[in-house]
């Protein structure tokens, strides 16, 4: 029976290929959709993960950076620096804003840096100045290329013009590009003199960041302090939660599509082999064995399609980076498990579709015609 | 062979095996539904962006000088801007607005929200329950947030340790995957002073935008130009232009990914239809061989196969639309933060056209097999 199943499956290789490709396309769509959310979520925490602070200090009641607003009076920089176990404090100012460049509007995180201090600044230099100076901005290289920006060109942030002084790498995604300016320029733009948004705190050697965060909250009035890992995890979870429902819906749609396609192909195989099945039944092969064979075929198609979808995604990640650098793609283990499980369920449900056909085959037809 | 005869043949072939035909039509309809859902998601996202400004009302919208977006940007107008705008001839009234981004947390679950602060105009467009936030300390939250966190009228909503009382649930007030909440300016001041937000209140926006009513007979575009020219640090735009700028930003944000997903969906559609026609041709090789033996040319048969694929696609279009409407309703019910405009006429027409084009493209898959079809097949088996 296994042999028959295998022969059946490869009896029309082009058809099998088209079926597997179509089902894989449905799974790839789900993986791709989820990959975009994962890629964007990774990029959301890029600033937190790629900079050096062990502890992040922010306004009390704030625990995020993405789509959040935090203001802390600047006298607290010294207060935090005086806490036992703090080696260095790096303040930044931060603003979510649309940026006008090349006649288009882009959404960006704008980070104000202390002059000459790159600890919270661009982590990969991609041309021009490394750090922003007065009246200038460091913009992501992909953003610059897409907007046709060169050194010296102008970008407008919250109504104020900045000259492009340099480019940074690994700082762009569609929803989370990062632009760097000086803290004074951003304070002026935001009319928030005397405040900072976040402080990146370096712990002295041997000091546990979690203990230091608690100590800062205990000693400095009205601030929240989180370890870098905790802060990144909170922002990542926001991004994931924002896309959770739509990812599930796409999984549902893609899964239903894959189920119909798989069901069709096993149904076709059964329909084309009715006479053969009748002979098998006449020879004593039971319905359950034939049905087991269709289930195996469906599982094989589902498994092949899933593997092809994963291969497509592995190919799509570098290809997208090359052809469409604006799109950030990532593949997570969770996405693989979810789509793999969907493939399994889809195959099992699809194999039910031709059951009626299998049961209706009459062994007598083997001796007719 | 006449077109009508080919269509007749295609139709008869289609209904020869009804079960199989239903499965094919269902599958093609599912592909179309999936495309329409993506198109509807894109169109709905742009509508939400436009509506955010347009629902705030007014003939002219004044922002900080140089700010040309309503959402995803920071605009701070000086307090004296309101008096300066009201002093301009042609201004019938002004309505202050502020927008603040905050994170709502309940246990381990978090959601960003955009709080719209308003005075006498620019508040919630439609209420699903309760009433707008008239009393101090009250807030109206959108259905999207209420659904996600199980909130209802009369409940307490805690933001930055400040407890708001939910006065009502708004409908369709969200954009950029983010639900809105509404409060009045008195509540905002209380929130700033009593909650754990920054000690420096000057850092927070108290006046982001001014919605301006033009006096009867005043041209809004002309009024906007005069406000921009006469009020320091302010820029006036027509709400429709601001809305288009926000939509444009949405296109930059969502367009590349969703267009890529749409491209992938079209690819799946072509492959699926190719698979169906390939399977149909393969299962009817004998009858097609008979046709060849009767004098039909390979071209005739290929045309018939293409016609059959087109018939299938045309039959699948209404079902696909129905499925898309059902899926959109399900998605909007589970996650009301999204708006899916699956019945957008441009997307419908485009998808119907693409369905037929994919059918023709997919029907070419077994072309080689058809061209090599031997009339002797009719006498084998």
pLDDT tens for each residue of A104-159: 778 888 999 998 888 888 999 999 999 999 999 999 998 898 889 999 999 998 87
pLDDT digits (tens, 9 = 90+) for A345-354: 888 887 777 7
More confident residue, A160 or B145: B145
On whether the CB atoms of residues A193 and A79 are closer than 8 A, the answer is no
**Among B174, B204, B237, which residue terminates a domain?**
B237
Rounded to an integer, what distance in angstroms lies between the CA atom of residue A68 and that of residue A135?
Answer: 25
Residues of B in contact with A267 (CB under 8 A): 19-20, 23
Predicted TM-score (pTM) of this structure:
0.82
User: Average model confidence (pLDDT) for chain A?
Assistant: 85
For residue A336, the Cα-to-chain-centroid distance in whole angstroms is 13
Looking at the fold, whether B179 and B283 belong to one and the same domain comes out as: no
pLDDT digits (tens, 9 = 90+) for A239-268: 777 776 777 777 778 778 777 777 777 777
When scoring B46, B103, B284 by the number of chain A Cβ atoms within 10 A, the one with the most, hence best to mutate, is B103
User: What is the count of structural domains for chain B?
Assistant: 2
Q: Count Cβ atoms within 10 A of the Cβ of residue B179 and give its class: 0-12 exposed, 13-18 middle, 19 or more buried.
A: buried
Q: Is the dihedral of CA A165, A168, A173, A177 positive or negative?
A: negative
Looking at the fold, whether B166 and B280 belong to one and the same domain comes out as: no
Looking at the fold, whether B121 and B217 belong to one and the same domain comes out as: yes
CB of A59 within 8 Å of a chain B CB? The answer is yes
Looking at the fold, whether B78 and B13 belong to one and the same domain comes out as: no
**Among B172, B205, B237, which residue terminates a domain?**
B237
Return residues 304-323 of A near B (CB < 8 Å): 320
Rounded to an integer, what distance in angstroms lies between the CA atom of residue A31 and that of residue A247?
Answer: 9
Q: How far is B234 from chain A (nearest CA, A)?
A: 10
Q: Which domain holds residue B140?
A: 60-237
Rounded to an integer, what distance in angstroms lies between the CA atom of residue B136 and that of residue B138?
Answer: 6
Looking at the fold, whether B41 and B84 belong to one and the same domain comes out as: no
pLDDT the model gives residue A365? 67
| Closest residue to A32, CB basis, from B76, B202, B261 | B261
Question: Is B12 inside a domain boundary?
Answer: yes
Q: Which residues of B194-227 are buried (b: 16+ CB within 10 A; e: fewer)?
A: ebbbbbbeebbbbbbbbbbbbeeebebeebbebb
Residues of A in contact with B324 (CB under 8 A): none
Nearest to A60 by CA among A44, A81, A76: A76
CB of A84 within 8 Å of a chain B CB? The answer is no
What are the Cα distances from residue A108, in Å, to A113, A340, B75, B337?
A: 15, 35, 15, 22
Please compute the mean of the pLDDT values over residues A51-61 and round it to a whole number. 90
CB of A69 within 8 Å of a chain B CB? The answer is yes
Q: Count Cβ atoms within 10 A of the Cβ of residue B193 and give its class: 0-12 exposed, 13-18 middle, 19 or more buried.
A: exposed
Residues of B in contact with A59 (CB under 8 A): 196-198
**What residues have CB less than 8 Å from A349, skipping those under 6 apart?**
A259, A263
Residues A73, B27: C-beta atoms closer than 8 Å: no
Looking at the fold, whether B225 and B272 belong to one and the same domain comes out as: no
pLDDT the model gives residue B325? 95
Q: Residue B244 corresponds to which tokens in the numbers above?
A: 């288009």
pLDDT band of residue A198 (cuts 50, 70, 90) is very high
| Closest residue to A104, CB basis, from B252, B254, B365 | B252
Residues B203, A66: C-beta atoms closer than 8 Å: no
Looking at the fold, whether B264 and B319 belong to one and the same domain comes out as: yes
Question: Is B55 inside a domain boundary?
Answer: no
Q: Residue B187 corresponds to which tokens in the numbers above?
A: 């509540």
Rounded to an integer, what distance in angstroms lies between the CA atom of residue A90 and that of residue A120?
Answer: 7
Rounded to an integer, what distance in angstroms lies between the CA atom of residue B167 and that of residue B133?
Answer: 5
**Among B188, B218, B237, which residue terminates a domain?**
B237
When scoring B98, B231, B252, B363 by the number of chain A Cβ atoms within 10 A, the one with the most, hence best to mutate, is B252
Question: Is B311 inside a domain boundary?
Answer: yes
Write down the residue that tokens 């007598």 correspond to. A364
CB of B76 within 8 Å of a chain A CB? The answer is yes
CB of B258 within 8 Å of a chain A CB? The answer is no
pLDDT the model gives residue A9? 72
Q: Which residues of B321-337 are buried (b: 16+ CB within 10 A; e: fewer)?
A: bebbbebbeebbeebbb
B107: left (phi > 0), else alpha (psi -120 to 50), else beta? left
Looking at the fold, whether B98 and B8 belong to one and the same domain comes out as: no
Strands (E) in B246-313, as ranges, are none
Looking at the fold, whether B213 and B280 belong to one and the same domain comes out as: no
Question: Is B243 inside a domain boundary?
Answer: no
Looking at the fold, whether B103 and B184 belong to one and the same domain comes out as: yes
**What residues have CB less than 8 Å from A51, skipping those under 6 apart?**
A119, A120, A121, A123, A200
pLDDT above 70 coverage of chain A, percent: 96
Question: Is B40 inside a domain boundary?
Answer: yes
Rounded to an integer, what distance in angstroms lies between the CA atom of residue A85 and that of residue A65?
Answer: 24
> Nearest 5 degrees, angle CA B77-CA B194-CA B179?
60
pLDDT the model gives residue A119? 86
Looking at the fold, whether B129 and B222 belong to one and the same domain comes out as: yes
**What residues have CB less than 8 Å from A104, skipping those under 6 apart?**
A147, B248, B252
B66: left (phi > 0), else alpha (psi -120 to 50), else beta? left
pLDDT the model gives residue A96? 83
**What residues have CB less than 8 Å from A305, skipping those under 6 apart?**
A20, A21, A23, A24, A26, A27, A258, A262, A343
Q: Residue B322 corresponds to which tokens in the numbers above?
A: 């129905």
Looking at the fold, whether B281 and B303 belong to one and the same domain comes out as: yes
Return residues 107-136 of A near B (CB < 8 Å): 107
Q: How far is A32 from chain B (nearest CA, A)?
A: 8
pLDDT tens, chain B, 381 aa long: 556 766 677 677 767 777 778 878 888 888 889 889 989 998 999 999 999 999 999 999 999 888 888 987 878 888 889 999 999 999 999 999 998 888 898 888 888 899 999 999 999 999 999 999 988 899 999 999 999 899 999 999 998 778 999 999 999 999 988 999 999 999 998 888 776 655 555 566 688 999 999 999 999 999 999 999 999 889 999 999 999 999 988 888 888 878 888 888 888 777 777 777 777 777 777 777 777 777 778 777 778 778 888 888 888 999 999 999 999 999 898 888 999 999 988 889 988 888 888 778 777 767 676 677 666 665 654
């Amino acid at each position: 029976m296994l042999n028959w199943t295998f022969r059946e499956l490869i009896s029309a290789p082009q058809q099998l290929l088209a079926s597997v490709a179509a089902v894989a396309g449905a799974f790839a769509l789900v993986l791709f959709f989820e990959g975009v959310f994962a890629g964007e979520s990774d990029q959301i925490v890029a600033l937190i993960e790629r900079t050096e602070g062990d502890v992040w200090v922010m306004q009390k009641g704030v625990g995020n950076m993405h789509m959040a607003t935090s203001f802390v009076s600047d006298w607290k920089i010294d207060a935090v620096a005086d806490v036992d176990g703090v080696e260095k404090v790096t303040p930044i100012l931060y603003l979510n804003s649309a940026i006008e460049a090349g006649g288009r509007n882009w959404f960006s995180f704008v980070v104000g840096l202390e002059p000459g201090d790159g600890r919270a600044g661009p982590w990969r230099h991609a041309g021009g100045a490394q750090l922003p100076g007065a009246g200038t901005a460091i913009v992501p290289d992909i953003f610059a290329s897409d907007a046709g920006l060169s050194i010296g060109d102008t970008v407008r942030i919250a109504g104020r013009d900045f000259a492009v002084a340099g480019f940074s790498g690994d700082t762009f995604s569609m929803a989370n590009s990062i632009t760097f300016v000086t803290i004074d320029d951003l304070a002026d733009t935001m009319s928030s003199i005397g405040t900072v948004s976040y402080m990146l705190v370096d712990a002295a050697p041997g000091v546990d960041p979690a203990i230091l965060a608690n100590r800062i909250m205990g000693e400095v009035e009205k601030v929240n302090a989180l370890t870098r890992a905790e802060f990144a995890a909170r922002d990542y979870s926001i991004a994931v939660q924002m896309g959770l429902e739509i990812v599930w819906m796409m999984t549902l749609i893609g899964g239903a599509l894959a189920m119909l396609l798989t069901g069709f192909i096993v149904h076709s195989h059964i329909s084309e082999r009715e006479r053969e099945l009748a002979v098998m039944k006449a020879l004593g092969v039971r319905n359950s064995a034939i049905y087991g064979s269709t289930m195996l075929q469906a599982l094989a198609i589902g498994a092949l399609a899933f593997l092809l979808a994963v291969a497509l995604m592995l190919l799509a990640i570098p290809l997208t980076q090359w052809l469409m650098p604006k799109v950030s793609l990532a593949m997570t283990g969770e996405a693989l498990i979810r789509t793999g499980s969907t493939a399994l369920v889809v195959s099992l449900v699809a194999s039910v579709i031709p059951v009626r056909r299998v049961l209706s085959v009459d062994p007598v037809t083997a001796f007719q015609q | 062979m006449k077109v009508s005869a080919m269509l007749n043949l295609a139709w008869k072939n289609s209904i020869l095996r009804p079960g199989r035909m239903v499965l094919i039509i269902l599958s093609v309809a599912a592909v179309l539904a999936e495309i329409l859902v993506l198109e509807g998601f894109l169109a709905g996202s742009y509508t939400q962006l436009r509506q955010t400004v347009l629902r705030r009302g007014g003939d002219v919208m004044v922002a900080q000088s140089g700010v040309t977006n309503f959402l995803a940007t920071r605009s701070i107008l000086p307090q004296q801007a309101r008096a300066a705008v009201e002093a301009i001839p042609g201004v019938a009234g002004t309505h202050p607005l502020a927008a603040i981004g905050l994170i709502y947390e309940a246990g381990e679950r978090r959601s960003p929200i955009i709080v719209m602060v308003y005075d006498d105009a620019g508040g919630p467009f439609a209420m699903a329950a309760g009433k707008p936030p008239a009393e101090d300390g009250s807030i109206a939250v959108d259905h999207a947030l209420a659904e996600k966190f199980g909130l209802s009228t009369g409940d307490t909503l805690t933001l930055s340790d400040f407890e708001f009382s939910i006065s009502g649930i708004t409908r369709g007030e969200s954009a950029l995957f983010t639900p809105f909440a509404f409060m009045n300016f008195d509540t905002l001041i209380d929130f700033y002073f009593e909650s754990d937000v920054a000690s420096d209140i000057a850092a927070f926006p108290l006046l982001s935008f001014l919605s301006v009513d033009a006096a009867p007979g005043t041209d809004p575009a002309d009024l906007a130009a005069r406000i921009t020219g006469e009020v320091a640090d302010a820029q006036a735009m027509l709400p429709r232009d601001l809305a288009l700028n926000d939509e444009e930003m949405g296109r930059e944000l969502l367009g590349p990914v969703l267009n890529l997903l749409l491209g992938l969906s079209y690819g799946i559609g072509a492959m699926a239809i190719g698979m169906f026609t390939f399977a149909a041709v393969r299962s009817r090789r004998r009858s097609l061989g008979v046709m060849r033996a009767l004098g039909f040319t390979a071209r005739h048969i290929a045309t018939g196969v293409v016609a059959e694929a087109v018939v299938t696609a045309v039959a699948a279009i209404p079902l696909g639309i129905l499925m898309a409407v059902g899926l959109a309703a399900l998605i909007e019910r589970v996650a009301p933060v999204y708006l899916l405009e699956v019945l957008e006429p441009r997307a419908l027409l485009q998808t119907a056209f693409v369905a037929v084009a994919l059918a023709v493209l997919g029907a070419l898959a077994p072309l080689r097999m058809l061209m090599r079809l031997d009339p002797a097949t009719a006498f084998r088996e």
